[in-house]
Amino acid sequence: MKSILTLLALLIVPLLMNAQTNETIFLWPDSVPGESDAKHPPRQDENTSGNVIRLTDVTDPAFIVLEPEASLSNGAGVIVCPGGGGRILAWDKEGIEVGQWFNTLGITAFVLQYRVPNKQEGALMDIQRAIRIIRSRAEDWKLDEDKLGVIGFSAGGSLCAGASTLYRVETYPMIDNADTLSCRPDFSMLIYGAGLDRGEGRSLTPVLKVDENTPPMFLFATADDKHGNGTLVMAGALRDAGIPVESHLLPFGGHGYGLRAGNIAGKTWPMLAEQWLKNILK
């Protein structure tokens, strides 16, 4: 049965990708910095519980481009970072489906296939490189290069927090002219972000250096999520630094809901986020 489910999932992935996909962009033209394994396609995890496609063993990072209908496009772009505890990528639930939702708002989505499992340093390189590539090709996708943000779920939220606070850190040697561009996101959205409160006394994770140039953020979590405290401490750090922040903490909803039906949190955050996006993308 597992082999049948895996085969079905492998067949579904291309269908999802082709639905609104222009192209797949690989981040590293030659060797992948900090990666010891040879490049190869990601592996589909056999676990498909919850009707979720899980990818792992990513050694050739890339992003999938999902473009809105031309009549809806507003020139904004967002890099979507699925979660998965740093072990897998919840590819459809927190990636493709989210990108397609952004398309309905007129926003071009770039679903990031960053390095897993357990390759946090490599993943930060991947998101920095993705931001720069997209900015370098902004005309190709009719984007305003100053309206490029990031959104992450769970471990993907941690990655986006890193991208939003460590943009001055050069994590890899220059590859080409794209790397002369800024890797600072223009806005950041952390949905049930994990790994944000690893400081002393569950304070903000020390490596996340919030300052006056950290981009504005939208934060969402629930009180019954064990990672919910991270949203609170991130909101406090942003407030203290004078960064515009909108933070929401619902009493119930748990963790890992994406925007699928049947969960009040999964229904609520997109409505709140849509209004926030309208305000900051004016």
pLDDT over threshold 70, residue 21: no
Average pLDDT estimate for 264-279 = 98
- pLDDT value at position 12? 43
Q: Which two tokens stand for residue 65?
A: 């481009």
- pLDDT value at position 219? 98
Angle at 19 between CA 39 and CA 25, to 5 degrees: 30
Confidence of residue 214 (pLDDT cuts 50, 70, 90): very high
pLDDT over threshold 60, residue 4: no
As a whole-number percent, the residues of the chain with pLDDT over 90 amount to: 91
Angle at 122 between CA 177 and CA 200, to 5 degrees: 120
Q: Which two tokens stand for residue 39?
A: 């490049």
Name the amino acid, one letter, at 81.
C
**Partner residues linked to 110 by β-bridges:** 65, 79
Q: Which two tokens stand for residue 116?
A: 């897993």
pLDDT over threshold 70, residue 62: yes
- pLDDT value at position 22? 67
Confidence of residue 252 (pLDDT cuts 50, 70, 90): very high
Lowest pLDDT segment from 9-13, 157-161, 182-186, 268-272 = 9-13
Full-prediction pTM beyond 0.75?
A: yes
pLDDT over threshold 60, residue 16: no
Give the pLDDT confidence of 71-119 residue by residue, as tens digits: 999 999 999 999 999 999 999 999 999 999 999 999 999 999 999 999 9
pLDDT over threshold 60, residue 20: no
Q: Which CATH number fits domain 2-280: 3.40.50.300, 3.10.310.10, 3.40.50.1820, 3.40.50.2300?
A: 3.40.50.1820
Give the pLDDT confidence of 193-209 residue by residue, as tens digits: 999 999 999 999 999 99
Task: Please report the DSSP string for the chain in residue order.
Answer: -HHHHHHHHHHHHHHHHHHSEEEEEES-SSSPTT--SPP-PPEEPS--GGG--EEE---S-EEEEE---TTT--S-EEEEE--STTT-EETIIIIIHHHHHHHHTT-EEEEEE---SS-HHHHHHHHHHHHHHHHHTGGGGT--TTSEEEEEETHHHHHHHHHHH-TTS--S---SGGGGS----S-EEEES--S---SGGG---TT----TTSPPEEEEEETTSTTHHHHHHHHHHHHHTT--EEEEEESS--S--TT-TT-HHHHHHHHHHHHHHHHHT-
Query: What span, in angstroms and rounded, lies between the C-alpha atoms of 48 and 77?
Result: 29
Give the pLDDT confidence of 116-171 residue by residue, as tens digits: 999 999 999 999 999 999 999 999 999 998 999 999 999 999 999 999 999 999 99
Residue ranges per domain, the chain?
2-280
